Amino acid sequence: MMALQRLRLTAWDRGIVLLLILTLLFGGMFSELFMAGDNLNFVISDVSEVLLIAFPMALLIIVRDIDLSVASSLTLASAVIGITYEATLSMPIAVVAGLATGSLCGLVNGLLVTKLGLSSLAVTIGTLALYRGLCFVLLGDMPISSFPMEWTDLAFYPIGSTFLPWSVVLLALFGALFWYLLHGTRFGRWCYAIGQGEEAAAYSGIPVDRVRLLLFVMTGFMAGLAGLVYTLRFASASPDGAMGYELIVIAAVLFGGVAIAGGIGTMWGVIAAVLVWGASRSLLQLAGFDANALVIVSGLLLLVSVAIPQLISRLREQLGHRSPRGGNPTRGEASLPSGNEVVHPSPAGAGHDQGSN
């Protein structure tokens, strides 16, 4: 059954990778500008923050949690970097402070979710507002835009004579790290196990809450790192930066084949999905479409990415091929809130009965 499942699931990820290749090929044929070094540099820079956060978000969604506060954590880390740099005139200290801030944001989310047993959707909607609010507290309405040239140049100029932006180093490093973590370690297998069934995972000795807490901290840390990239890329720390990034990250992760009901997904699907998103964005711009077209396309891609696997599995069922239940990425517990029900069966379950009797 596991083998069958894996076969069906990787099919979607392969589809996304294929789509990425097709997008690049089509882009190359459509316009010489698309494959030009400058444009590829722009595409990679443009997706770097989203991709950095998408790595840990994939793991988080695989264990059936979610973090909506990532854009606010990113901006808060950026604000702290700005403030610390102004105070100390030392970028290394500022960077450490920024990464610590991101990790702390993640830790707070994780503690609220694991220690108090709250739903991660509700908690992170709250901290989305809280962290964003703290950005305004720290910065007021005055963005900080005096950063040292030798640091901002990292975000403005490519590596040596190549077209690759410096953020590629971070993307490659952390991409490889999270890839290995998810697909090569016991920790990664724990994540899938928790996502497939938290209770069963706990009974088989997996330290469920520790894994979830760690994932929240990782997500916060990566949001902090994305905050550093964002700050350098725009040479500015402003309280209203990265608005709405949380939904872009989540949309990209889901588009990459991670099931919102947990337990399913691969890192390469997620990476390919973010790159497809960035490449199609650039293509649409080169073709003269405006930003609205991209927004519509993003939405439709997301919808199609969940609808097609579902339609295929329905079709198979009708044709008489009974497929394993768990193999269906969008079936089972239909929506995210239901995931939280399974997380805390006894008290919450009893609580529900009040309403329904």
Partner 1 sequence: MTGRNVASTALKAREFPILVALAAVVVTTGLVNPTFASSEGISAILIESSVIGLLAASQSMLIIMRQIDLSVGSTTGLVAFLVGQNAAANIGVPFTISVVVGMAVGFAVGIVNGFFIAYLGLPSLVVTIAMLYVVRGVFSQLAGGETITADQVPAPLVELGSGSIFGVPYLFVCALIGAISVTLLLRYSRWGRDLYAIGSNPEAALRVGIPVARRTFVAFALSGIFTGVAGLLLLGRFSFADATSGLGIELYVIAACVIGGVAIAGGVGTAMGALIGAVLLQTITFALGALGVSQFWQQAVAGALLVLAITFDRVVAVRSARRVVRQVEVLA
- Cα 120 to chain centroid distance, Å, stands at 15
Interaction of residue 303 with partner 1, rule CB under 8 A: yes
136 contact partners, CB below 8 Å, separation of at least 6: 239
In DSSP notation, 69-101 reads: THHHHHHHHHHHHHHHHHHH--HHHHHHHHHHH
Query: Which range binds partner 1 by CB under 8 A, 46-54, 113-121, 149-157, 182-190?
Result: 113-121
Q: Using a CB cutoff of 8 Å and minimum separation of 24, what contacts does 286-293 make?
A: 286/27, 286/30, 286/31, 286/33, 286/34, 286/39, 287/30, 287/31
Interaction of residue 21 with partner 1, rule CB under 8 A: no
Phi then psi dihedrals of residue 81, to 5 deg: -60, -45
* Span 253-282, contacts to partner 1 by CB under 8 A: 254, 260-261
Interaction of residue 325 with partner 1, rule CB under 8 A: no
- In the list 2, 140, 321, 322, the residue contacting partner 1 (rule: CB under 8 A) is 140
Query: Which range binds partner 1 by CB under 8 A, 166-174, 184-192, 224-232, 333-341?
Result: 333-341
Query: Which range binds partner 1 by CB under 8 A, 41-49, 122-130, 147-155, 170-178?
Result: 122-130
Interaction of residue 338 with partner 1, rule CB under 8 A: yes
Interaction of residue 356 with partner 1, rule CB under 8 A: yes
Interaction of residue 68 with partner 1, rule CB under 8 A: yes
Nearest distance from residue 66's CB to partner 1, in Å?
Answer: 8
Instruction: Report the residue number, 24 or 121, with the smaller CB distance to partner 1.
Output: 121
Q: Using a CB cutoff of 8 Å and minimum separation of 24, what contacts does 245-248 make?
A: 245/49, 245/50, 245/53, 245/70, 245/71, 245/74, 246/67, 246/68, 246/69, 246/70, 246/71, 246/72, 246/128, 248/50, 248/277, 248/298
Interaction of residue 133 with partner 1, rule CB under 8 A: yes
- In the list 52, 71, 134, 229, the residue contacting partner 1 (rule: CB under 8 A) is 134
Nearest distance from residue 263's CB to partner 1, in Å?
Answer: 13
Nearest distance from residue 229's CB to partner 1, in Å?
Answer: 23
Asked if residue 99 lies in contact with residue 80, where contact means CB atoms within 8 angstroms, the answer is: no
265 contact partners, CB below 8 Å, separation of at least 6: 58, 61, 62, 253, 256, 257, 258, 259
Interaction of residue 287 with partner 1, rule CB under 8 A: no
Interaction of residue 223 with partner 1, rule CB under 8 A: no
- In the list 87, 311, 317, 324, the residue contacting partner 1 (rule: CB under 8 A) is 311
- In the list 7, 22, 177, 300, the residue contacting partner 1 (rule: CB under 8 A) is 300
Interaction of residue 122 with partner 1, rule CB under 8 A: yes
As a dihedral over the C-alpha atoms of residue 186, residue 192, residue 193, residue 198, rounded to 10 degrees, the angle is: 130
Interaction of residue 295 with partner 1, rule CB under 8 A: yes
Sign for the CA dihedral angle at 249, 251, 253, 258 comes to positive
Cβ of 197: how many Cβ atoms within 10 Å? 16
Nearest distance from residue 141's CB to partner 1, in Å?
Answer: 8
Interaction of residue 93 with partner 1, rule CB under 8 A: no
Polymer length in residues for the chain: 357
Interaction of residue 331 with partner 1, rule CB under 8 A: yes
Interaction of residue 341 with partner 1, rule CB under 8 A: yes
What CA–CA distance (Å, rounded) separates 286 from 181?
37
Nearest distance from residue 323's CB to partner 1, in Å?
Answer: 14
Nearest distance from residue 185's CB to partner 1, in Å?
Answer: 28
310 contact partners, CB below 8 Å, separation of at least 6: 328, 330, 331
The residues binding partner 1 (CB under 8 A) are 68, 112, 116-119, 121-123, 125-134, 136-137, 140-141, 243-244, 247, 250-251, 254, 260-261, 291-300, 302-303, 306-307, 310-311, 314, 330-331, 334-338, 340-341, 344, 347-348, 350-357
